[in-house]
Amino acid sequence: MIEWAVNLAITLFAVSILLNLYRLAIGPDIVDRILALDTLMINSIALIVLFDIRLSLGILFEAAMLIALMGFVGTVAMTKYLLRGDVIE
């Protein structure tokens, strides 16, 4: 059953990612795209976790953790750039 659930979850997350990409592509504003990317990052954390379960490895959490950290930093960098025209000042 878990296999089935994992596959279903992966499919759902894949659909989510497609929706995120759709928003990323159409915008209209750059903040929309940033938001879309931020969400995409979160959804891909999910994908990584699901890979881990599906492959029964248990070693991909660090990747998930890093995506969370990096996604946050990336989003902050981009918004700061929009707000201040610079990232570090």
In the region spanning residues 32 to 71, those forming contacts with other proteins, defined by CB under 8 A, are 32-71
DSSP for 37-87 reads HHHHHHHHHHHHHHHHHHHT----HHHHHHHHHHHHHHHHHHHHHHHHS-S
| Least separation in angstroms between CB 26 and other proteins | 9
| Residues in region 2-21 near other proteins by CB under 8 A | 2-6, 8-10, 12-21
Say if CB 82 and CB 31 are below 8 A apart.
yes
| Least separation in angstroms between CB 27 and other proteins | 7
Q: Kindly state the DSSP code that residue 88 receives in the 8-state scheme.
A: -
Tell me the site size for other proteins, rule CB under 8 A: 85
| Least separation in angstroms between CB 6 and other proteins | 6
